[in-house]
Amino acid sequence: MPLKLSHSLRWWALLLLAMGLVRGGSAGAAAADALFRYATNTYYAGDYIQAAAAFAQAAALRPASGTLQNLGNAEWQRGRTGAAIVAWEQALWLDPFNRLAKIDLQFARRMAQLETPDLAWYEAVSSWLPANCWAWLAAFSLWGAVGVSTLPGVFRWPKASWHQAIASLGLAVFLLSVPAHFGISSRARLGFVVLKDAPLRLTPTAEAQFIARLPAGEPARLERRQGGYLLIRTNHATGWIRQAEFQLICSMPGSTS
């Protein structure tokens, strides 16, 4: 016969679980901070390999735009152009207002003669704010418009002209945020070649004929997966590439494409 917890024991169990989650989050944040400090020290000491590894671990524990920007700097110093561009793009994915990451990207692409990603208008709009902000903006604007429209009737408050104005504004903001959500979903399939001279294959096999060799940092869009290969579409060709040679903009360090 299964044991049943009393209401008080259930509340204690939930409290202990919440405390465990908070402690786990605090421990993860502390570890990320320690790794960030270690990575910064090793970077200024000129040990870019250790710095890149530590910055990547810190970003995996707690993704942050500043950490990813520093990871890009370390990878660039190591001569890994593709990994650096991915890190800077990911920094802007989290924080489009990161001016230093934008400057680094412009400099790297100019030096390596790389193209910028070709974005549709709704993808460009989605890059104006962090991805999570669009979801909050849509939720607040929609429910704000609904609340202002319905609450006066529920509480029998006299309707004023500003109620309608706020409801109209909220609805307009919600409708304007819809294309941005499509842009986020579409940009999530954008990625970059991370290895130099990565072969673009005709079929997803090791013996396949090469269509082209892609430079590190080349932008492309993921079409589909098959085994350990990815079908990608660049600005000039479509073909298969090994999964380890390509990384999506939304896949943080420590995750797979």
Which residues in the chain land under pLDDT 70?
1-28, 252, 254-257
pLDDT recorded at residue 257: 58
Token pair in block for residue 28: 């993860």
Strands ordered across the beta sheet of 246-248? 210-214, 198-201, 238-242, 229-233, 219-226, 190-193, 246-248
At 207, the amino acid letter reads E
pLDDT recorded at residue 256: 53
Please state, in angstroms and rounded to a whole number, the distance separating the CA atoms of residues 69 and 11.
43
pLDDT recorded at residue 255: 60
Strand runs labelled E in the chain: 190-193, 198-201, 210-214, 219-226, 229-233, 238-242, 246-248
Are the beta carbons of 243 and 228 closer than 8 angstroms? yes
What average pLDDT does the chain have?
A: 87
